[in-house]
Amino acid sequence: MNLEKVVFGFFVLLAATLNFGFFIGDIADPALHNVYELFAAVVVSLIATVLKFGDRTQIGAVHLATSLVADLQLIAATIVWTYAAHISTDGLTAAAMASVVSLSGGALFANVVSVVLLVIETVSFHRR
Amino acid sequence: MSNPLLAFWFRLFGRDDDHRLSPGLRRRIPVASASQASATIFLILRRMRAPLIVLITIFAISVLGLTLVPGRTEDGQLWRMSIFDAFYFMSYTASTIGFGELPQTFSDAQRLWVTVSIYLTVIGWAYAIGSLLALVQDRAFRQALALQHFMRMVARLREPFFLIAGYGRTGELLGEAFDALGKRFVVLDDDEDRIEALELAAYHADVPGLVADARDPGHLGVAGLANPHCEAVLALTDDDEVNLAVAMAAALLRPDLPVIARTMSPAIGERMAAFGTPTVVNPFDRFGDHLRIALRAPASYQLITWMESGPGTELPARGSPPERGRWVVCGYGRLGRELIPDLRAEGIDVTVVDPVADTAAHEGGIVRGHGYEPAVLQQANVAGAVGFVAGTDNDTTNLSLVTAARRVNPGLFVAARQNSPSSAPLFAAMNVDSLLVPTEVLAHEVFTQLSTPLLWRFLQEVPARGDRWAARLVDCITQRCGRRLDALWKVRLSRADAPALIPWIDTGEARLGVLLRDPDDRDVQLPVVVLMVMRDGECVLTPDDDFVLAPDDELLLCGRLAARRAVDTTMVVKAAREYVVSGRHVPVSWIWRRFSGVA
């Protein structure tokens, strides 16, 4: 068993699952989306990105790219959330929550691609 | 890291069907791929993986804890920080900036948590920054960085350049000369100090330099051997084996490139010549040839040294060679072995003085011992000799040899060898008749060949013409252009370079003397001398004024700068050419030409 691969797979999958957990539910209802889950998703996603650093294979490069996309989407979501909750006078409106959740939905898509890549890598590993 | 060289050798020898030299081989010059150039960024990423993960984790835990720990507002309400506030607070705390407790005063529980996170984050930052600094100090990393920088510089060269392997004294001299010409070059040297000296040198253009072993074809590839702008390869290291390897690699991978290689041994020179057609320069051999010319034909020697020393030099004094007689050569090393057969070929008797010379290798007079010892000088009969060569590889020895020999026989013709540039003032003070500085001989040779190939061809022809011809040519140049060599240049009578001359040349009546008249006053002869005309690989030396020009002739001229401008005018401006040829003033502008019906 390769511990590095286990850790790597764990974080990639955890990033996707946390992301999914935040995303699921009525898009405009702040009660259905826990901001701590978004926070966890950002942290795990960043860790997953750093874990992909330095891998010079083709698939590693694609991995890094999708991971960076997910980071970008999630960070954008947190910035929108911060703006709505702290800066704007209206507070966390339905419209603001909808854009936060839709941004995290984009990140979810990138994370799904990451998981697919992980599966491909695992399947093709024995035939390399 | 994948090794592009391995891939190269595999591709070169991995298939059995392609062992021939082919143009396709050129595509396989081992140039590290673009992925190699991005090695540095990957190195940073790989090394920073652990510290960054530690940092992210510490931040996440601290921020999370800070949002969970309860605080109190001023009116006693329960208050928890939001994630944004906590992240903001941790950012300025962890980076040791510190704005105090925001957005309001903390409770003791929060302070307890912040204390823990301060220690955690300081450790995390120290670890991350420490790793980054260690990486920057890392030798492998710096090498990767230097290689990447070098490759980028070479790839960005958009003009012709020379590839110089070995940046010793010769490389320095050549670099200065090429730089003055505005010529770009790329340097490989395995000595870090030499490359640092290159970076400190005050050149007009940035010179890419890399610390690398030139024997490795991969390094040559990185230095631009595969680059279409590469014009020539110069192997100038002080190691003959390396020069041979460079000449071989260049001949095999880029058969179309001219190669100039330095060597100190005739055997290596022959091995170099087996690969393509490199120009092999052996400074000792050249010195022997020069000494022969100096002894036999002082005027030819004067002409050659004048032309070789570049623009702006005064006419050197014509040496007076010694009368016929015996020579004493001290030092039977690489120089002695080249020089003594040359002197013998001139019919000169030679006595060799050397502490360890092999008698078998040299028939004739050998005196064992050090030449600066009076007894040895007496034995070699320096008092009865006419010429003396101090040719050991030690400057101190050579200086004392010259002094000792002159004390015995003040009228000697003395030739000395200077090995290190730092001894130059001492040898200058000695005032020897003929001084050999191997590195300078090399630099002059290579520079002449690369900068003005026509001049090099001219100098090859000079010795065969005899001394009286050379003396006449020197007189002619000094009469017309003075004792300073202002400019030496080449013109090509082609449609592109001399559009005004072509119709006139096509009449078959174009005489050289007419071209050399002043376009302001055609009765005045320009201060310029035509040294040579080259036509279809055949050359005519010092053609007279009745020489009939043909299209695409290449002329080698020397003279004043004003004369150069005047000749250029005659070549380009139709009216100037018409005036010079026939004396008629014709209008220059299109309108006047229409009015006067010249068309």
The pLDDT value given to residue A124: 75
Cβ pair A54:B57 closer than 8 A? no
- Which value, to the nearest 10 degrees, does the dihedral of the CA atoms of residues B141, B144, B145, B150 take? 160
> Does an H or E element contain B149, and which?
helix B139-156
For residue B42, the chain A residues in CB contact (below 8 A) are 54, 56
- Cβ(B539)–Cβ(B457) under 8 Å? yes
Positions in chain A whose pLDDT score sits under 50:
127-128
Q: A59-71 pLDDT, tens per residue?
A: 888 999 999 999 9
Q: Which residue carries 């009076």 as its tokens?
A: B374
Nearest CB partner across the interface for B42, out of A35, A46, A54:
A54
The reply to whether B68 touches chain A by the CB within 8 Å rule is no
Q: B98-139 pLDDT, tens per residue?
A: 888 888 889 888 999 999 999 999 999 999 999 989 988 888
State how far residue B29 is from chain A, nearest Cα, in angstroms.
Answer: 23
Distance separating the N- and C-terminal Cα atoms of chain B: 70
The pLDDT value given to residue B583: 79
Structure tokens at B327: 């020579």
State how far residue B145 is from chain A, nearest Cα, in angstroms.
Answer: 16
Nearest CB partner across the interface for B46, out of A36, A39, A53:
A53
The pLDDT value given to residue B589: 66
- Cβ(B221)–Cβ(B257) under 8 Å? no
- Cβ(A44)–Cβ(A11) under 8 Å? yes
- Cβ(B533)–Cβ(B554) under 8 Å? yes
The pLDDT value given to residue B488: 84
- Cβ(B414)–Cβ(B388) under 8 Å? yes
Size of interface A-B (CB pairs under 8 A): 45
Cβ pair B49:A56 closer than 8 A? no
Cβ pair B82:A86 closer than 8 A? yes
Q: In B184-320, which ranges are continuous DSSP H helix?
A: 192-200, 217-220, 240-253, 266-273, 283-296, 298-308
For residue B52, the chain A residues in CB contact (below 8 A) are 50, 53
Q: Which residue carries 């040359």 as its tokens?
A: B342
The pLDDT value given to residue B29: 52
- Which value, to the nearest 10 degrees, does the dihedral of the CA atoms of residues A89, A93, A99, A104 take? 100
The burial of B256, by beta-carbon neighbours within 10 Å (0-12 exposed, 13-18 middle, 19 or more buried), is given as: exposed
CA A83/CA A103 separation, integer angstroms: 14
CA B117/CA B64 separation, integer angstroms: 11
Cβ pair B83:A50 closer than 8 A? no
For every residue of B484-547, DSSP letters joined together read B--EEEEEE-STTT-TTTHHHHHTT--BHHHHTB-SS-TTSBPSEEEEEEEETTEEEES--TTP
Nearest CB partner across the interface for A47, out of B56, B82, B85:
B56
Nearest CB partner across the interface for A51, out of B49, B63, B82:
B49
Q: Is the peptide bond before B103 cis (omega within 30 degrees of 0)?
A: yes
For residue B53, the chain A residues in CB contact (below 8 A) are 47, 50-51
User: To probe the interface with B, which of A43, A78, A83, A87 has the most B CB atoms within 10 Å?
Assistant: A43
Taking residue B290's Cβ as centre, other Cβ atoms within 10 Å add up to 20
Restricting to B residues 81-110, those with a Cβ less than 8 Å away from any Cβ of A are 82-85
Q: A34-54 pLDDT, tens per residue?
A: 999 999 999 999 999 998 887
The pLDDT value given to residue B498: 86
One pLDDT digit (tens) per residue for chain B, 599 residues: 444 444 444 444 443 333 333 344 444 455 554 445 456 777 788 888 899 999 999 999 999 999 999 988 888 889 999 999 999 999 999 888 888 888 888 988 899 999 999 999 999 999 999 998 998 888 888 888 888 889 888 988 888 999 999 998 888 888 888 888 788 999 999 888 989 888 888 888 889 999 988 888 888 988 988 889 999 999 999 889 999 999 999 999 999 989 999 998 888 988 998 888 888 888 888 888 888 888 888 888 888 888 877 777 888 888 777 777 888 888 888 888 888 888 888 888 888 888 776 655 555 677 777 777 888 888 888 888 888 888 888 889 899 988 888 888 888 888 888 988 888 899 889 888 888 888 888 888 888 888 888 888 888 888 888 888 999 999 998 988 888 887 888 888 888 888 888 888 888 888 888 888 888 888 888 888 898 998 888 888 888 888 888 888 889 988 888 888 888 888 888 888 888 888 777 776 667 767 776 54
State how far residue B63 is from chain A, nearest Cα, in angstroms.
Answer: 10
User: To probe the interface with A, which of B83, B89, B91 has the most A CB atoms within 10 Å?
Assistant: B83
Taking residue B598's Cβ as centre, other Cβ atoms within 10 Å add up to 13
For residue B84, the chain A residues in CB contact (below 8 A) are 82, 85-86
The pLDDT value given to residue A107: 96
pTM for the model stands at 0.69
**Buried b or exposed e, range B56-77, using 16+ CB within 10 angstroms:** bebbbbbbbbbbebebbeeeee
**Buried b or exposed e, range B167-201, using 16+ CB within 10 angstroms:** bbbbbbbbbebbbeeebbbbbbbbeeebbeebeee
Locate the DSSP E strands across B381-499. Answer: 387-390, 413-417, 434-436, 487-492
Cβ pair B52:A50 closer than 8 A? yes
Cβ pair B56:A82 closer than 8 A? no
